Chain A
Amino acid sequence: MTNATYKLEKSGRTFLERLFEPPAIGKMSPVANVTAYAILLFWSAFVLFPIYWVVITAFKDAQTVNEGPYFIPFVDFEPTLAAWRTQFLSDPFCDFYAIGRQIVLLAYNSAAFIVSPVVSLAPMEPQICKVYLAYTNSLVISIVSTALCIVIGSMAAYALARIQYKPKFGNIVMFVILTLVSIVASTYAGVHWLASASVALALFFLLARAFGKHFKGQLGNGDILFWIISQRILPPVVVVIPVYMMFQAVGMIDTHFALILVYAVANLPIVVWLMHDFFAGLPIELEESAQLDGATRFGIFWEIVLPLTRPGLAAVTLLTLILNWNEYIFAVFLSTSKAQTMPIMVAAKNAGERGILWWEMCAIIVVMIIPVIIMAIILQRFIARGVLLGAVKG
């Protein structure tokens, strides 16, 4: 809206009216504008202050932290790079050669992942350059698991939004009972887990084939959705030991793959739920007309539906990425040295009886935020562009 049109429309207004009423459609009144800015700035301060404090603490040392509070570097305290040096440079065995090796390995590992996610990663020396190793691990694990989670999750979400599923209640009860029986058999009766699991699975398929048709009670998509989200309810501490034992049984403790799988599954419910709403909110007419043109369901999903939900997809991707990047309890249990991730490094700075090494911990937190902020800025553009696209098409 240009200045000229504004004058044309609003010339007959009083001062007060101009203050409280929007100058044009799609704009805000001056008072609303000022209030909005005041709120946004206040909230920015609230959000940024703790982060500011973390950042400056990363440049303090034991003395400036303990004698504190000191607020502004160079003004009331002399910033030091001590924390960064001990973190990233002081490891006597972590020289340029070792860092270079880690970087080469990072590249190699990423390439290996693109070829096949199952390929075992080149062993990085877990003892030296711990922080660099953890950083590499965090990057690889969170990116791959996010990709996996988004692909699987959005497909399921789309299916649940557009296709009616009617799982039989009886089949589910049967499945639950068989699973329980096989678990009880392997814990109390000492049956090998592989035997009990395969017997239970075979029995389930046999019985489902034989009796499935006779079960009447059916569940709907809503029930499936609630079932999926309910997988996030149990606190992770409870399932961490069973999950550990599962991966231990197949010899995958301390591998990247184990963490990737666990993270992908842990965040599936969130992806499915959020994406389901975005898909359900799309007008169905577009898809119907594509269907009439003979497009396959996967084609519709890939070429029409996904681009339309790009803002949602970007938001959910970012969220999943962050949750994977920051996960702690599974990481600490499923890794011993080779697959350790950054949150373990943060927790490690609480040195128990030595107190918390605030300055080093903050340095690690700062290093951890940086890639996520870059990701957020990149994806934020997608969010904005998606809106534009939506506006054009809508």
Chain B
Amino acid sequence: MAQSNTQHHQSGATPAGNRPSEGWDEWFDRHSRTFFIAPAVTFILIFAIVPTFYSIVFALSRVKFSPDGLQFRFVWFQNFLKQFVGNEQTHFLGRLEGLSAFAWLFNIIVIAAVLYWLYRSVRNGASWVGMVGRLISAAMAIAISLLLGATLLSGNPWGTLLTTLFYVVVGCALQFVIGTGLAFLCSQPISGKNFFRVIFFIPLMITPLGVGYAFKMILDITKGPFQPFWEFIGLRDWAWSTDAWAARWFVVIGDSWQWIPFIFICMLAALENVPKDHVEAAQVDGASSVQIFRDIIWPQIVPVAATVILIRMIEAFKIVDLPNIMTSGGPGIATESMSLHSFFIWRANDYGMSAAVAYMLLLVTVVVCASFFNYVVLKQLRSSHA
């Protein structure tokens, strides 16, 4: 789309006039704004957009196999409705009965807070586009809090949607804090830091399948390395994998083990790009290291931090290998993420429903990530520039 747009480029190196004897390099330079972005956009259009649209067709159909290829039967939103009101409801959303008083209280507080936030943005004169965005975010926030109230706070098991959010929120927070902390340490003048850098990076190098299997092996309570430890603290017969919360936490630990290096290396690169003289000037002025980090380093690395969190969130929403290998989504459905949910159905050849679950994941991811980006990252950026 960008290449079809006929704007004049604003800062070309050669004058815009068309000289008669224009060499190919000049011509190339004149159109550089197109050439720079066209390959990426074309590639994405062909190999990402077309399949994505194609899978909308899957999501709205029942798909069958025949010798002449796949056969599609259009069923409107049946695949989606099933997740909310049909047979899959307890699987996707969790069990939603018997709301506790605490859940009511929680929901009322959340709804009040969201409404207040909306009211404030109306008073601050948000544009109508901004208001639509806020309404969508607000709706999602209320829906998630209702779900949280109906399941967790009322003692009901929850479904794959909330499990996914648990992995994303807890996992990303943990990984960002630890990853940035380690990057900060490694950007300090410490001898041997190059050694640590390489070491810390290793987990990311292992194929995610391999990480899943490695953690399955290490956490095995009968023949894994921690068996003597479990026995020592008297938990020989305690199986983490049969306890919903313990299993979820161990999945988060495995996920963090693998992905902290990603945050680590990106934040390290960002920290290395912070001009040393600014920091040293502050040190000369006697600023404490906390002050230096908060006032000088942080504002410089915020853009990278925001990007890194966003990318990590997007990847975390798709978490599939670890729960699949470590617990197969068990006990029950306790560790099953939406991506795994979609994967299981896909494996049973139900492409329509699998695509529908994935689109729900897409919806949640886009709303959560866009909200995070607009209301947290941009705010942070503005305040750090102020």
Q: Which of A49-57, A93-101, A110-118 contacts B (4 or more CB under 8 A)?
A: A49-57
From A71, A208, A237, A342, name the one whose CB has the most chain B CB atoms within 10 angstroms.
Answer: A237
B198 and A380 contacting across the interface, CB-CB below 8 Å: yes
- Give Cα distance in the complex from A1 to B264, angstroms: 28
**A86: interface (CB < 8 Å):** no
| A155 x B7 contact (CB < 8 A) | no
B210 touches A368 (CB 8 A): yes
Nearest CB on B from A378, distance (A): 11
Query: A229 and B196 in contact (CB under 8 A), knowing A205-B4, A312-B269, A376-B201?
Result: no
From A66, A273, A297, A380, B29 is in contact (CB under 8 Å) with: A297
**A19 is an interface residue with CB less than 8 A from chain B:** no
Query: Interface of chain B, helix or strand or loop or mixed?
Result: helix
25 contacts between A and B (CB under 8 A): A26-B280, A27-B189, A33-B190, A36-B188, A43-B200, A53-B214, A152-B43, A156-B41, A159-B36, A171-B1, A184-B57, A235-B361, A238-B55, A239-B52, A239-B54, A264-B43, A268-B43, A281-B273, A300-B13, A319-B265, A326-B209, A358-B213, A365-B210, A376-B202, A394-B275
Any chain B CB within 8 A of the CB of A108?
no
Total CB contacts across the A-B interface at under 8 A: 355
User: How would residues 12 to 40 of chain B score, 1 for a CB under 8 Å from any chain A CB and 0 otherwise?
Assistant: 11100000000001101100110111011
Is A307 an interface residue when CB atoms closer than 8 A count as contact? no
- Measured between beta carbons, the chain B residues less than 8 angstroms from A22 are 283
**B358 lies within 8 A of chain A by Cβ:** yes
Closest residue of chain A to B38, judged by CB? A156
Stretch of B81-89, B137-145, B223-231 that contacts chain A: B223-231
B44 at interface (Cβ–Cβ under 8 A)? Answer: yes
Number of chain A residues close to chain B: CB under 8 A: 131
Give the 4 A-B residue pairs with the shortest CB-CB distance, closest first.
A159-B36, A156-B40, A326-B207, A242-B54
Known: A47-B202, A235-B358; 12 extra A-B contacts, CB below 8 A, are A47-B203, A54-B217, A156-B40, A165-B7, A187-B72, A231-B52, A233-B361, A261-B43, A277-B304, A311-B269, A318-B201, A369-B206
Contact with A along B224-267 (1 / 0, CB 8 A): 11111000000000000000000000000000010000100110
A362 to chain B, nearest CB (A): 8
CB pair A47 B199 closer than 8 Å: yes
Q: How many angstroms between the C-alpha atoms of A40 and B192 in the bound complex? A: 10
Contact A43 B307 (CB under 8 A): no
Q: Does A30 contact B (CB under 8 A)?
A: no
A129 interface hit (Cβ, 8 Å): no
User: B335 within 8 Å of A by Cβ?
Assistant: no
Partner of B44, one of A40, A228, A376: A228
User: Can you name the residue of chain A whose Cβ is closest to the Cβ of B29?
Assistant: A296
Please encode chain B, from 330 to 348, with 1 for each CB lying within 8 Å of some chain A CB and 0 for all others.
0000000001001100100
Measured CB to CB, the closest approach of chain A to B196, in angstroms, equals 5
Q: Contact at A296–B1, with CB atoms within 8 Å?
A: no
- Given the interface pairs A43-B182, A315-B269, the reply to whether A297 lies near B57 with Cβ below 8 Å is no
**Would B190 and A155 count as touching, CB distance under 8 A?**
no
In this assembly, does B303 line the interface, its C-beta being within 8 Å of a C-beta of chain A?
yes
Nearest-Cβ distance from residue B73 to partner chain A, whole angstroms: 9
State in angstroms the CA–CA spacing of A270 and B343 once bound together: 23
Query: Inside 8 A of A159's CB, which chain B residues have their CB?
Result: 33, 36-37
Known contacts being A69-B228, A235-B342, is A365 close to B206, with CB within 8 Å?
Answer: yes
- Encode B112-154 as 1/0 by CB contact (under 8 A) with A: 0000000000000000000000000000000000000000000
Structural contact, A164 and B4, CB atoms closer than 8 A: no
In the complex, what distance in Å separates the CA atom of A50 from the CA atom of B258?
11
Is the C-beta of B320 less than 8 angstroms from some C-beta in chain A? yes
Question: Which of B2, B39, B202 is the one whose CB lies under 8 Å from A224?
Answer: B2
Please name all residues of chain B whose beta carbon is closer than 8 Å to the beta carbon of A315 when the two chains form the complex.
Answer: 265-266, 268-269
Interface 9-residue window, one of A10-18, A77-85, A119-127, A175-183: A175-183
Inter-chain contacts of A295 with B (CB < 8 A):
13
With A188-B72, A229-B311 in contact, is A346–B213 under 8 Å at CB? yes
- Docked complex: B44-72 residues within 8 A CB-CB of A: 44, 46-58, 61, 70, 72
B residues neighboring A (CB under 8 Å): 1-2, 4-7, 9-14, 25-26, 28-29, 32-33, 35-37, 39-41, 43-44, 46-58, 61, 70, 72, 74, 181-182, 185-186, 188-190, 194, 196-211, 213-215, 217-218, 223-228, 257, 262, 265-266, 268-270, 272-273, 275-277, 280, 283-284, 289, 300, 303-304, 307-308, 310-311, 314-315, 317-318, 320-321, 339, 342-343, 346, 351, 354-355, 358-359, 361-362, 365-366, 369-370, 373
- Establish whether residues A51 and B202, one from each chain, have CB atoms under 8 Å apart when the complex forms: yes
CB proximity to B under 8 Å, residues A16-62: 22, 25-28, 32-33, 36-37, 39-40, 43-44, 46-51, 53-54, 57
> Would you give the shortest CB distance from B109 to chain A, in whole angstroms?
30
Q: How far is the CA of A346 from the CA of B208 in the complex (A)?
A: 10
Contact with B265, one of A184, A264, A318 (Cβ below 8 angstroms): A318
Given A69-B227, A183-B53, A264-B43, A356 and B213 contact (CB-CB distance below 8 Å): yes
Q: Report A159-201 CB contacts with B as 1/0, cut-off 8 Å.
A: 1101111111001100110011001100110000000000000
| Given the contacts A36-B185, A208-B4, A383-B272, A229 and B43 also touching, CB distance less than 8 Å | no
Is A322 touching B43 in the complex (CB atoms < 8 A)? no
Interfacial chain B residues near A163, Cβ < 8 Å? 9-11, 33, 36-37
Task: Please state if B215 and A50 are interface contacts (CB–CB under 8 Å).
Answer: yes
Residues of B with C-beta under 8 A to A235? 318, 320, 339, 342-343, 358, 361
